[in-house]
Structure formats: C-alpha cells, structure tokens
Amino acid sequence: MATTQPTAGGLKPAARGITPEERKVIFASSLGTVFEWYDFYLYGSLAAIIAKQFFSGTDPNTGFIFALLAFAAGFIVRPFGALVFGRLGDMIGRKFTFLVTILIMGASTFIVGILPNYATIGIAAPIILITLRILQGLALGGEYGGAATYVAEHAPDDKRGAFTSWIQTTATLGLFLSLLVILGVRSAVGEEAFSSWGWRIPFLVSIVLLAVSVWIRLSMNESPAFAKMKAEGKTSKAPLTEAFGQWKNLKLVILALIGLTAGQAVVWYTGQFYALFFLTQSLKVDMSTANILIALALLLATPFFVVFGTLSDKIGRKPIIMAGCLIAALTYFPIFSGLTHYANPALEAALKNAPVIVTADPATCQFQFNPTGTKKFTSSCDIAKAKLSAASVNYENVVGAPGSVATIKIGEKVLTSYDAKGLSKEDAAAKDKAFSAELAGDIKGAGYPSKADPEQMNKPMVLLLLFILVIYVTMVYGPIAAMLVEMFPTRIRYTSMSMPYHIGNGWFGGLLPTTAFALVAFKGDIYYGLWYPIVIAIATFVIGMLFVKETKDYDIYQAER
C-alpha cells in the first residue's frame, strides 16, 4: 500500500515513486477503460453501415444523419450517467462502480451484434439500437470520473499529470483497437460480406473483452483515500446536493464546463471523428484507407498524451490546454483544405473550376436537419441541395422568384429540379431516378469525382495532417484529467468532475459530426461545418484564460476549495 502522510484535508500520498501494487491497479483501471471505449466507438466507426442496416426506411442523407444522431444519443445521456454513477462512486466506492459500468457497456455492445436489422423487424430495430446506445452512454458517463479520480488518488503530487495522462490515452487506444478489429474483419471476409453481416463480428468480439474487463475490475483494490474516509464516516451523504446545490462548488462546475471541457471536446472530436467522417463522406475516400490513415495517426500521436500530461506537471495544466484550443481554432480551415488537396485533388480542382449555383425561392428551402428521421424534404430546393451535398459539391445560393422551381447551374449548363410534394411514391421514384442520373452526368462532366482516386492521393501528406490534428487532441486532453481532479474536493470529486466532463464531451463533442454535416448541407460549403468547433474552442480559450485558475499545485486531499 502507498506510503501516506496526514494533511489538513485527510490522507495524502508522499512525494515518491509508485509501488508495484499501485502500478498494477492503475494499469487495470486504464486497460478496462480501453475496452470500454472500444465498445463505445465501434458504432461511430461503422456509422455508414449502421445507417444502411437500421435506418434504411429513410433516404440515404437522412439515414446517415439519423445514424449519427443515434451515435450522439449515447453522448447526450452521458451526463445522466455521471449523476447516477458519480453519486454511487462518492457514496459507495470506485470499485463497485467500475464493475457495474463495464457490465452494462459490454452487454449492450454484444446485443448490437445480434440485433436484427430494419429489413427484418422494421421500426423496432432502430428503437432497440437507440436504447442500447443510451445504455452505453449511461455506463460511459460513470466510467471516466471514477478512473481519473482513482488514478489521481494513487499518484505522487508531482506526477499527477503524468499518471492521469495514461487514462487519457485509453479513449484513443480504444478507438485504435476498434479500427484494427474492423480492418481485420473487413480484410478477412471481404467488403461485400462485411457490409452484409461481417460488421457484426467486432460487436460480438466484445463479449471476450467483457470477460477480461470484469476479471480486471474484480482484482482491483478500493482507493485508499476513499477507504479511509469511509471508515471514518466522512463520505458525502448527499453528493449531488453538495456538488450542485452550493454555489461555491457549482461555480467551479460551470467554469470547468465552459472554460475547459467544451473546447477540449470539440478539438478532440474534430481531430478524430470528424476527420474520419470528412475523409469518407466529403472527400469520398474509401473506408478502409481512411481507417488505416486515422489508425496510423492515432498510433503515432498517442505517446503525446503522456508527453503533455508530464509537461503539465512542470509548467501547469492551463497553458497547454488553452494553447491547444487556440492553435486548433486558427488552423482548422487550412488543415482541412489541405486534406482535400492531398486526398482528392480532382475534387479540389472541380470545386475551383466548376462553380455551381442553386437558384431557388428561399421560402421553399429548409434547414435539412432531421432528428427524427421521418421528415421528408420534398421541395425542389431541398432536393437539389441534398443531391449536391451528397456529391460533395459546393454551391452558391441565389434568390429565385417566389414560387419558382429550383435550378442548378453547373458551368454553362442549367438543370431544373422538381417538386416531389403530392406525387405518388412511384412517380416520385421515377422523377428522382431521372433527375439523379442527369445530375450525376452533369457533375461528372464538370470534373467532380464519384470517389477519391487512390493513385492521386498523397497518403504521407494526408497522414501528416491527421497527425497534426491528433496532436491538438493530445494537448487539450492529456492534462485535463489532472486539472479536473484538482478543481474539486475529495468527498464529492467523482460527481463534480464527471458532470462538466460529460456535458462537454457528450453534448458539445458528441453532437459535432451531426451538427457540422447539417451546417454543410445548409450552406453548400464542405468546410462550413468547421465553424462549430472553431467558435466553441475560441470561446473556451477566452473564458478559460480569464476565469479558470491553474491547479497543478493544489492539494487534492483538501476538504474545501
């Protein structure tokens, strides 16, 4: 057990290295968290296939957005998981909470692997899928705060950033593991079989990971600080009231959210998930190539979580996190333009040389964000814009005469759209087929590629840009666990730090892909969705610099802040 010394606030680790026993339990905590993130990220990595399997009752664009929203549902409920499991963790203990969260996560993921699709059981398929995603989100909401608290309470004071940064690697390593399994299965069964049934195998494999993780969690010891507090009867009887019902602590929760985790979250999800979606959906890079490049970027950049976590022990947490938010916001546009240039130069050339203009009555144009998956966009304007967005074609909006039918001008050629409202299903399908064929021909004639050409792709440069994006992730994410732990008192730490972390990452971060793609469809610019992370990252930088205090020298065993 760790050598400890009493302080005014309770039990405190002495400033020395970590014992083999402590190293074992920290490793166990981190490894279990890797498995849990693996389960959670499988869905995000397979969003395009999930859309076809479970949301085939809608058009492709709506189906993909709906699939992303189902992915986001798991993030949306994470703060509620933080409330439930944070309360348990502060009242009962870390070890029990770890065991419950991994059981919920593993079982939910395995069931996705055996769940019949929309073609088999109809609307029940997406309903059950979303329910499972919610259960995953609740479990994950209870995982992170406990893991970060557990590790921090075992770490020497001068190495807290370094030790908690290992927890920060677990999300990326979990994503990396999910990508490796997906690539392995895809290569083994072939693309057609993978799209049909092979995609289920990575979900089914999670039952093995679940068994390993449960064994690991059962072998863990309770945090010595929590065990001592419990033995002395000093644990919180009402952690939710203490955390959020008293202004002195609620103020810290709010600052942790808007001055730290909101910006950290959008940088994190832009650098990993949005980059993947941008490659596959906007730049038409095939899924296998995109996954390999993302996986390599993650592999190369992951050690920098520990680098920046360790650096934060020396210069502070705040400077590194704030710098990451600012640099990311200032460079996203050139980096994503560079991805287009190196991944799909033919698309870049078409965007420059073949301007497209959509002329339509603004009254007939809607913001094509469909959270229910049931709304139909039937106006000539909506149809035209949806088709162009799906083809990654930028377009300029021009106001048309009231009541006019939308037109698409590609170079010197003008194509008239159509209204589907009032048409029978058969007539609408016939119109759509004819219009889509003509538009595809015009787009191809203007130089817009249907997919990225592997021979023209500069993979080393794409990898370099992806690596830079993940470096930003390591800057904002590496030190944040230590900083959140240090902001709150021991007795309500699990509850207090979990809420801002999961609102920031679950809501601001989890909704990023859906929001960004809806913005792209609205504006007609494949880069327009970047404004979402840029604005939030800058807001976090400003608020964090003005109001958030440095924490690296705080005594984490203090009773009060």
Q: List pLDDT tens digits, range 499-543.
A: 898 888 878 887 787 788 778 877 888 899 999 999 999 999 999
Task: Decide which of 335 and 70 is more confident.
Answer: 335
Identify whether residues 220 and 286 lie together within a single domain.
Answer: yes
End-to-end CA distance of the chain: 27
Domain-located, residue 556: no
Q: Which candidate, 561, 48, 66, 530, places its Cα nearest to that of 329?
A: 530
Token pair of 181 as six digits:
């399994």
Identify whether residues 398 and 470 lie together within a single domain.
Answer: no
Domain-located, residue 511: yes
Token pair of 550 as six digits:
């440095």
Domain end call among 445, 465, 494: 445
pLDDT at 401 over 50: yes
Given a contact cutoff of 8 angstroms between Cβ atoms, the answer to whether 487 and 368 are in contact is: no
Interatomic CA distance for residues 555 and 482, integer angstroms: 12
In this prediction, residue 61 carries a pLDDT of 60
Identify whether residues 84 and 114 lie together within a single domain.
Answer: yes
Identify whether residues 389 and 499 lie together within a single domain.
Answer: no
Domain end call among 394, 426, 445: 445
Q: Please report which residue ranges of 153-282 form alpha helices under DSSP H.
A: 160-189, 191-193, 200-218, 224-231, 239-244, 247-256, 262-269, 275-277
Instruction: Please report, for the domain that includes residue 390, its CATH number.
Output: 3.40.30
Domain-located, residue 481: yes
Interatomic CA distance for residues 547 and 535, integer angstroms: 18
Domain-located, residue 557: no
Interatomic CA distance for residues 424 and 428, integer angstroms: 6
Q: Tell me how far CA of residue 464 lies from CA of 294, 300, 330, 406, 461, in angstroms.
A: 10, 10, 18, 41, 5
pLDDT at 236 over 70: no
Interatomic CA distance for residues 485 and 315, integer angstroms: 17
Percent of the chain whose predicted confidence (pLDDT) is above 90: 27
In this prediction, residue 6 carries a pLDDT of 42
Task: Decide which of 434 and 9 is more confident.
Answer: 434
Interatomic CA distance for residues 333 and 331, integer angstroms: 6
Look over the chain and give the mean of its residue pLDDT values, rounded to a whole number: 83
Q: What's the pLDDT tens digit per position in 542-561?
A: 999 999 999 888 877 664 55
Task: Decide which of 331 and 63 is more confident.
Answer: 331
Q: Is 232 helix (H, G, I), strand (E, B) or coil?
A: coil
Identify whether residues 479 and 516 lie together within a single domain.
Answer: yes
Identify whether residues 434 and 486 lie together within a single domain.
Answer: no
Identify whether residues 395 and 522 lie together within a single domain.
Answer: no
Interatomic CA distance for residues 268 and 65, integer angstroms: 20
**538: containing domain:** 19-343+455-547
Average of per-residue pLDDT across 106-128: 87
Task: Decide which of 110 and 368 is more confident.
Answer: 110
Domain-located, residue 124: yes
Identify whether residues 401 and 534 lie together within a single domain.
Answer: no
Identify whether residues 356 and 331 lie together within a single domain.
Answer: no
The structural domain count of the chain equals 2
Contacts of residue 192, Cβ cutoff 8 Å, sequence gap at least 6: none
Interatomic CA distance for residues 325 and 533, integer angstroms: 10
Domain end call among 445, 475, 505: 445
Given a contact cutoff of 8 angstroms between Cβ atoms, the answer to whether 332 and 530 are in contact is: yes
Q: Which helix (H) or strand (E) holds 463?
A: helix 459-477
Instruction: Please report, for the domain that includes residue 478, its CATH number.
Output: 1.20.1250.20
pLDDT at 232 over 70: no
Average of per-residue pLDDT across 456-463: 95
Q: Which candidate, 439, 451, 430, places its Cα nearest to that of 406?
A: 439
Interatomic CA distance for residues 206 and 367, integer angstroms: 38
Identify whether residues 432 and 532 lie together within a single domain.
Answer: no
